[in-house]
Amino acid sequence: MSLKDHPILKAAKGEKTDYTPIWIMRQAGRYSARYREIRAKAGSFMDLCRNPELAAEVTLIPIEEIGVDAAILFSDILVPVEKMGINVSFVEGKGPVLEPKIETLEDVDRLKVPEPERDLPYVLETIQIIKKRLTDRPLIGFSGAPFTLASYMLEGGSSRNYIAAKSTMWNRPQLWDALMSKLTDTVIEYLSAQIKAGVDLVQIFDSWMGVLAKEDYETFVFPYTEKIVNELKKRHPETPIIHFGVNAGHLLEVNNRLNVDVLGLDWKTEIPFALKRIDKSIQGNLDPVALFADEKTIEEKVRKILEEGMKARGHIFNLGHGILPKTDPEKAKFLVETVHRVSRELRR
C-alpha cells in the first residue's frame, strides 16, 4: 500500500476506507513503562525533546506497543516558544513555567520568529530519523495555535481563568495583535519546515480556545489561525491539516470556515451535534477516562462513536483529549484492536 493510500490520509480527505483508522493524542507518553525509562535517562523533559535519537525512539513506541495507525512527532507545543526568547521549564505538579511573562509591547518586540532549520534543527532531524524507520504508516507533525501559545506566554504558564490573556485581548489590542502576529508567523514557518522534513499531515492544537466566547474567538483568534491554514495550504496543498481544541463545540460553525481537512472533537461534543454544523472529516472522540472501564463498556462506547462517525465525510478515531498517564497500556491496545475490528464489521 502506498502511503498516500493509508486510511488516515484517505479519511482526512474524505475518501472511503476499509476500516476506521486510529491514533491517540499523547500516545507517546507516561502510560508506557518504556517511555518512562527513556524519560528518566534523558534529563529534563525539554532535553528529551531536543534529543533526536531518543525523541524518535519515543515517537515509535505506540506503533510497536499498541498498534496505532500513525505516529505523532514527540515534542511539545512550547518548543518553538523557547526559541522565540522565552525560558520554558517544567515543574513537577505545576506544569510549564514560562519566564519572563509577556507584559509589554517591548516584550513582544524582543521576541524573534525562529528559523526552524537554524534554531530547531533537532526537531527536523527527529522527523528524518522517524521517516527512515517508519515506512508503512504516516507521521503527524504538530504545533500549538497562536491563542494557546499566547495564553501560556501572557499567563507565565497554565491558567484556570486566563485573566492575563483575555484582558490583554480586550484592553491592549496593539500588544495582542503584535504577539498573535509574531506567533502566527512562527507557526507557519515551523509547520512548513516539518512538512518539508517529511511529516505526512499536521495537527494544530488550539487546546484552550474553548475558554473563549464565540464572538471573542471569531474576532480575536480566528483570523490568525485562518492565516496559518491558508498559507500552509498554499505552500503544501497535498498535506492534510487537523484542527483541535477542547470544550469547543460552540465554535464548530466558525472553525468550519477554516480550510482544514479535519476538525477534532472532544468527548463532550457529540458527533451528531457536530455533523449538523460542519462538513469536514472529524477526529475523535472517546472520553480518555473510558479506558479505565471494563472491556465491554469500552467496546459499547467505541461502537457508538464508529456508527455515528460513518455519517461524517471521513472519520479518524481518537480520544477526545490526551491519554491519561495512569491508563493501562493493555486497555489502549484493546481500544486500537476494537476500533479496527468493529469498524470492519460495520462496513460489511
Active site (catalytic) residues: 26, 30, 39, 76, 152
Residue 328 Cα distances to 167, 181, 297, 339, angstroms: 41, 41, 15, 17
Question: Which distant-in-sequence residues (6+ apart) come within 8 Å of 129 by Cβ?
Answer: 52, 53, 56
CB–CB of 143/77 below 8 Å? yes
